[in-house]
Amino acid sequence: MSTLLAQTNPLREGLRTEATAEPCVVVIFGATGDLTRRKLMPGLYNLAVDRRLPAGSSLVGFARRDMTDERFREDMLQAASTYSRTQPFRPSVAEQYGEGIRYVRSSFDDPAGYVRLEQVCTELDAARGTRGNLLFYLATAPTAFPTIIEHLGRCGLVERRSNGRSGGWSRIVVEKPFGRDLATARELNEQLARVFSEHQVYRIDHYLGKETVQNIMAFRFANSMFEAVWNRDHIDHIQITVAESIGIEGRGPYYEESGALRDMVANHMLQVLSLVAMEPPVALDASAVRDEKVKVLRAIHPLNTAEVARRTVRGQYGPGAVNGHPVAGYREEERVSPQSNVETYVALKLLVDSWRWGGVPFYLRHGKRLPKRASQVTIRFKPTPQRLFGQGDASWHHPNVLTLRIQPDEGIGVRFGTKVPGPGMEIRSVMMDFRFGAAFGHQAAEAYERLILDAMQGDSTLFTRRDETEAAWTIVTSILEGWRHLPPPEFPNYEAGTPGPRSARDLIARDGRAWARL
């Protein structure tokens, strides 16, 4: 069936690829946590189902919980069967991969644990042909990152692998949050640099693994018609929205430390912004792409307190209803302070001070417990210079709008004016719509699958480079600083299930503009 479809639909050609990575041992620190069960293990299993995972690839869980190899293996296979996108579950694939699953029980600061880890990896090399290749994955709470990095350095494992004595390589994937401000992000970068070279470090931002986010570059640079108007001469403003209907999903302690700005803007949203605003890279490799992205972030000047007051809005949800179901307010969530002033909504106006973007505002908004889930980039073009159609109130002045829908309804829409059939020259705004699902008809790999595979293959294009993280934190830290000096807003200031605080509407309305309808 799939061969037939590939023959009849040219869009489906090349969708199935074979593994090109070398087999390696993935060592997950914090392997008993939610991320491993929900994303990493199902991702590895899906790669195996799609025949993208090299034979022999293995997994070592490293965590404090008391567990045998067998129990950990069972848990992992159970996680794969529950959360993987490829269904029905394929026991034969799971069994093959399962033979390479091991567990090391240790606290992160016990040198003996790292000695055992090396023994287990060496055994796997011999038994499964992983050739000394090691991919460390930091999936613990961020407080454990420094200890693990330090011990990896001290035990000599990284050095032994990366200087080629074992013939293999070692790399490290670092989960978010990557620091909590510029100073802590710099410190973490320093710690990493003491043990790993930059080319071994993979700072993960799962938004970059999303097909629709990668497609921003394809859309812009594989087509000549859009790039020609992608600048301040033609674009009035750009909106980036990440709306979520979920709340904090039981992650009270994490969210109390983080808040919406750190959780979504410092990473995912500024990454999307840099893809939208970057200049064409000279090549599609990790250096060239990231060189251009970082220039965008550097062109966004840090905000002073007055700018923070004018150009940012914070919100926090109170009780309300989402999709007809009553939900608690943020302050009533589990393990959240009843007086918490942590923001669950943020709206910003950012300016990219560059030749291309001078004077074009970028409005960003993100919130939890909004009426629906929708992530999109909205590019609003300038109106036509001549009011040719209609007169007075009836004059046609609706500008073109291009919407890049990241999720859930993945696609691209262009809104344009068209003549209403019939006598006269009445113009109406209509939508031209492209849907990924309809065009390609196949389920895209999940972000984590793509990113794990890229890390195995040594391709860091879709991971953030050291200078990018620091440039992003420079912007975000200026906002956090500004908020520290400003009186906190009266929280809660929006009801769960509504589109956010009124002040967010005012932020954009002051400029004579409005948020795109979701």
Residue 244 near ligand BG6 by CB under 6 A: yes
Q: How far is the CB of 242 from ligand BG6 (least distance, A)?
A: 7
Smallest CA-to-CA distance from 138 within 35, 65, 286 is with: 35
Q: How far is the CB of 236 from ligand BG6 (least distance, A)?
A: 27
CB nearer to ligand BG6: pick between 166 and 241: 241
CA-to-CA separations, 137 to 59, 60, 200, 352, in angstroms, rounded: 11, 10, 12, 34
Q: How far is the CB of 300 from ligand BG6 (least distance, A)?
A: 21
Residue 431: helix, strand or coil by DSSP?
strand
Q: Which of 268, 301, 442, 485 is catalytic?
A: 268
Residue 449 near ligand BG6 by CB under 6 A: no
Q: Is 325 a catalytic residue?
A: no
CB nearer to ligand BG6: pick between 50 and 244: 244
Count residues binding ligand BG6 (CB under 6 A).
Answer: 2
Residues numbered 14 to 53 that lie near ligand BG6 (CB under 6 A) are: none
> How big is the chain by its Cα radius of gyration, in Å?
24
Site string for ligand BG6, 263-282 (x = CB under 6 A): x-------------------
Residues numbered 276 to 335 that lie near ligand BG6 (CB under 6 A) are: none
Residues numbered 247 to 266 that lie near ligand BG6 (CB under 6 A) are: 263
Q: How far is the CB of 244 from ligand BG6 (least distance, A)?
A: 6
Residue 175 near ligand BG6 by CB under 6 A: no
Smallest CA-to-CA distance from 376 within 413, 346, 349, 350 is with: 413
CB nearer to ligand BG6: pick between 226 and 436: 436
Tokens of 294: 């970082």
- CA–CA distance, 114 with 119 (Å, rounded to integer): 9
CA-to-CA separations, 516 to 375, 382, 416, 505, 506, in angstroms, rounded: 11, 15, 15, 11, 14
CB nearer to ligand BG6: pick between 263 and 468: 263
CA-to-CA separations, 466 to 177, 267, 288, 291, in angstroms, rounded: 14, 13, 14, 11
Residue, CB closest to ligand BG6: 263
Q: How far is the CB of 368 from ligand BG6 (least distance, A)?
A: 7
CB nearer to ligand BG6: pick between 19 and 248: 248
Question: At a CB cut-off of 8 Å and minimum separation 6, what does 509 contact?
Answer: none
Residue 3: helix, strand or coil by DSSP?
helix
Helix and strand numbers (H, E) in the chain are 19, 18
CA 56 to chain centre: 29
Q: How far is the CB of 47 from ligand BG6 (least distance, A)?
A: 18
The footprint of ligand BG6 (CB under 6 A) covers 244, 263
User: Which amino acids are annotated catalytic?
Assistant: 268
